[in-house]
Amino acid sequence: MSGQAAADRPGSQGALRRANRARILGELRRGRTPTQADLARETGLAPATVSNIVRDLLRDGMVAVDDSGGRRILRLSPAGSGLAASIDYGHRHVMVALADAEARIIAERRADLAQDLPAEQGLAVAARLLHEVLAEAGADLGSLAGIGMGLPAPIDSRTGTVGSPTILPGWVGLPAATLAGAAFGRPVTVDNDANLGALAELRWGCGAGTANLAYLKLSEGVGAGLIVDGRLFRGPNGTAGEIGHTTVDEFGALCRCGNRGCLETVVAARRVVDLLRPVVGRELSIGEVVAAARSGDRACARAIGDTGLQVGRAVADLCNLVNPEMIIVGGELAQAGDLLLAPMRQVIARCGVPSAVDGIRLTTATLGARAHVLGGITLAFESAAALG
Ligand SMILES: [Zn+2]
């Protein structure tokens, strides 16, 4: 399967920005070394637009500037000319994608994995898929600008080890980047999957141009990626954003993190399915719950609505602390759209400090199921630019 990442709602600000970036990178890919004025003339874009895009491309390490000959000319940097790979692990799957610097997916593969699979075996599956996508694209490992990888766990930025809580028990305490580097034969940069979702939505999705946002991953695990002043905020140990483990009921269900009554124990996808099983008589997928709720099933609508109320309360607290301009909801439960967002909106308005929540934008992730894997691509190019 291949195709364009689903970021482009026609006419959206993000789609326009992305198209303009692609036009400028396209000019540079022809091996030319234009000045900004040349670019404006040849693309027909306003000089100010070209200037903004070039500033972003310089910041991202995609282009380099050379003014040794008296003219300030631009050329593609090594990071801007190649492809990057991304590996994203969910609770029971891994997705591998190859994309260019504009996050256009060239090739992708997905495989189901057992939840308790040891890390080495999960990495062996990803390595096989990586070779398949490289073969499909006619590329090889050596030509990659970099490899990014996402895990549904905090990654300790001091040691590179996978922290707990994670929904992948086979990975806890392991040095993920080192193991992945050995499995793939190239250095790998690793981050938490909600952080990657935040990065991708900031760069390619509905968060474009937003300096402060929170990306909320609502799946089997629950976490947040925080963009503060235009940059990912990881905290000194890489654990920032663990909203799924804030306590909402001190004597509630035991959580996999060892605490009781964490948000995740009441809103994870599994919890929604379990709530409905006695009523429905079987295990529904989240897609089936959403479809049933949309066609008027009261129990399914109630399960999703109550999830929205509980997530909304935690998000109101987050708004009071961080004051983001935008909350982007991704992960499996984002399929519920307004069935989930409407109750969230209600509680955010009721519980948030007015000046922290007035005018806040609440939306589902534009990049959908590809948000995390595209964040890995962004991470790979950023790391390549930092090294180059
Ligand atoms: Zn917990």
In angstroms, the CA 197 to CA 205 distance is 10
Distance from the alpha carbon of residue 222 to the mean position of ligand 1, in angstroms: 9
Nearest one of 235, 255, 253 to 245, comparing CA atoms = 255
Grade residue 94 by pLDDT with cuts at 50, 70 and 90.
very high
Distance from the alpha carbon of residue 239 to the mean position of ligand 1, in angstroms: 13
What percentage of residues in the chain have a pLDDT greater than 90? 69
Distance from the alpha carbon of residue 246 to the mean position of ligand 1, in angstroms: 7
pLDDT digits (tens, 9 = 90+) for 69-81: 888 888 877 666 6
Q: Is pLDDT above 50 for 388?
A: yes
- Domains in the chain: ranges and CATH: 13-80 (1.10.10.10), 83-197+375-387 (3.30.420.40), 210-365 (3.30.420.40)
Distance from the alpha carbon of residue 166 to the mean position of ligand 1, in angstroms: 9
Higher pLDDT: 136 or 351? It is 351
Phi-psi region of 159 (alpha: psi -120 to 50; beta: other; left: phi over 0): alpha
Grade residue 3 by pLDDT with cuts at 50, 70 and 90.
very low
Distance from the alpha carbon of residue 324 to the mean position of ligand 1, in angstroms: 24
Phi, psi of 365 (to 5 degrees): -65, 130
Distance from the alpha carbon of residue 240 to the mean position of ligand 1, in angstroms: 14
Query: What is the arrangement of strands in the sheet containing 93-100, beginning at the earlier edge strand?
Result: 105-112, 93-100, 83-89, 144-151, 188-192
pTM greater than 0.75: yes
pLDDT at 81: 66
pLDDT at 11: 63
pLDDT digits (tens, 9 = 90+) for 102-124: 888 888 999 999 988 999 999 99
Q: What is the mean predicted confidence (pLDDT) over 165-193?
A: 92
Distance from the alpha carbon of residue 247 to the mean position of ligand 1, in angstroms: 8
Q: What is the mean predicted confidence (pLDDT) over 43-53?
A: 92
What percentage of residues in the chain have a pLDDT greater than 70? 94
pLDDT digits (tens, 9 = 90+) for 299-316: 999 999 999 999 999 999
Counting beta carbons within 10 angstroms of the beta carbon of residue 200, is it exposed (0 to 12), middle (13 to 18) or buried (19 or more)? buried
pLDDT at 79: 60
pLDDT at 2: 36
Grade residue 342 by pLDDT with cuts at 50, 70 and 90.
very high
pLDDT at 68: 81
By the CB criterion, residues less than 5 angstroms from ion ligand 1 are 245, 255, 257, 259, 262
Distance from the alpha carbon of residue 169 to the mean position of ligand 1, in angstroms: 14
Vertex 335: Cα angle to 332 and 336 (nearest 5)? 115
Distance from the alpha carbon of residue 12 to the mean position of ligand 1, in angstroms: 37
Find out whether 219 and 311 touch, Cβ atoms under 8 Å.
Answer: no
Q: Is pLDDT above 70 for 220?
A: yes
| Residue-averaged pLDDT of the chain | 90
Distance from the alpha carbon of residue 191 to the mean position of ligand 1, in angstroms: 20
Grade residue 364 by pLDDT with cuts at 50, 70 and 90.
very high
Distance from the alpha carbon of residue 256 to the mean position of ligand 1, in angstroms: 6
pLDDT at 248: 93
Q: What is the mean predicted confidence (pLDDT) over 358-377?
A: 95
Distance from the alpha carbon of residue 176 to the mean position of ligand 1, in angstroms: 22
Distance from the alpha carbon of residue 255 to the mean position of ligand 1, in angstroms: 5
Q: What is the mean predicted confidence (pLDDT) over 362-366?
A: 96
pLDDT at 5: 39
Tokens encoding 161: 């080890």
Q: What is the dihedral of CA 332, 334, 338, 339, to 10 degrees?
A: 20
Distance from the alpha carbon of residue 170 to the mean position of ligand 1, in angstroms: 18
Find out whether 341 and 216 touch, Cβ atoms under 8 Å.
Answer: no
Interior/surface letters 173-184, b for 16+ CB within 10 angstroms, e for the rest? ebbbbebbbebb
pLDDT at 32: 76
Q: Is pLDDT above 60 for 19?
A: yes
Residues 128-134: contacts with CB under 8 Å, at least 24 apart: 129/94, 129/96, 130/85, 130/87, 130/96, 130/184, 132/96, 132/107, 133/85, 133/96, 133/97, 133/98, 133/106, 133/107, 133/108, 133/109, 134/85, 134/98, 134/107
Distance from the alpha carbon of residue 154 to the mean position of ligand 1, in angstroms: 13
